[in-house]
Amino acid sequence: MPIIFQQQLSAGAKLALWEITEALSFFEQYEVEARSIAHPAVKKQHLAARVALLFLAPHFPLDKLINNAAGKPHLENKDWYISFSHTTDLAAAIFSPVQEVGIDVERVGERIFRVSYKFLSEQEKACLQLATQLNTLQESDAAAKWLTLCWSAKESLYKWKGMPGIDFIKDMKLISVEPANSQLLFEVSCYEKPIRVAYKCWDTYVLTWVHE
């Protein structure tokens, strides 16, 4: 199985990252519900994330999952907390028996420079530059990685919070970057204490997660 990263977290939480190298038929054999996804590539990504969860918890009742108004998957009885993410050839899953969770995987690319204003304020960009000692947040591999990491972290926070209508700048503010601990800290609306987002980076993609 192409699990390229997995981690046991606190309080029984686990996560896994799957590199999608298989054909769609491989994932279809698990008979996991894929809604009515017509596009084969998207369907494969969707299924891969759920098969990654089955790798972590083989008896997880995937057929009992429902989505709330924000698209957050959950079980009606709240026995487990789950989050999924996928991109072109990667799929990720995280679950916890006791805490809300969120996960996101993103490819690093130049597009992030054109959209950074949509999810980072000027104050947050200054915080990021100071912590990473970057002279600019434009046109470098390092800048692309850190900007993608911030975007991914906010995606994980959005999935963790699980509420519609969240503003990525107003409701989730980057306040600290801690490379030594592989984590970012955010002020999140309606929460008194900062929320930690853990991360792991590879050359061309990043993975972020929250379990609080």
pLDDT digits (tens, 9 = 90+) for 142-175: 999 999 999 999 999 999 999 888 999 999 999 9
Instruction: Supply the pTM of this predicted model.
Output: 0.95
Give the closest residue to 141 by CA, choosing from 109, 107, 111, 116. Answer: 109
Average of per-residue pLDDT values in the chain: 93
pLDDT attached to residue 32: 76
User: Do both 93 and 115 map to the same domain?
Assistant: no
Which of 37, 70, 104 is where one domain is finished? 104
Identify whether 36 is part of a domain.
yes
Q: Does 31 score more than 80 pLDDT?
A: no
Highest mean pLDDT among 20-24, 58-62, 78-82 belongs to: 20-24
User: Do both 23 and 72 map to the same domain?
Assistant: yes
End-to-end CA distance of the chain: 29
Percentage above 90 pLDDT, the chain:
79
Describe the strand order of the beta sheet including 3-8 as a list of residue ranges: 3-8, 14-19, 90-96, 81-87, 73-75, 65-67
pLDDT attached to residue 35: 67
Residue ranges making up the domain that contains 96: 3-104
Q: What share of the chain is helix, strand, coil (3-state, %, to 5)?
A: 35, 30, 35
Question: Is residue 8 a contact partner of residue 56, using CB atoms and an 8 Å limit?
Answer: no
Q: How many domains does the chain have?
A: 2
User: Do both 185 and 116 map to the same domain?
Assistant: yes
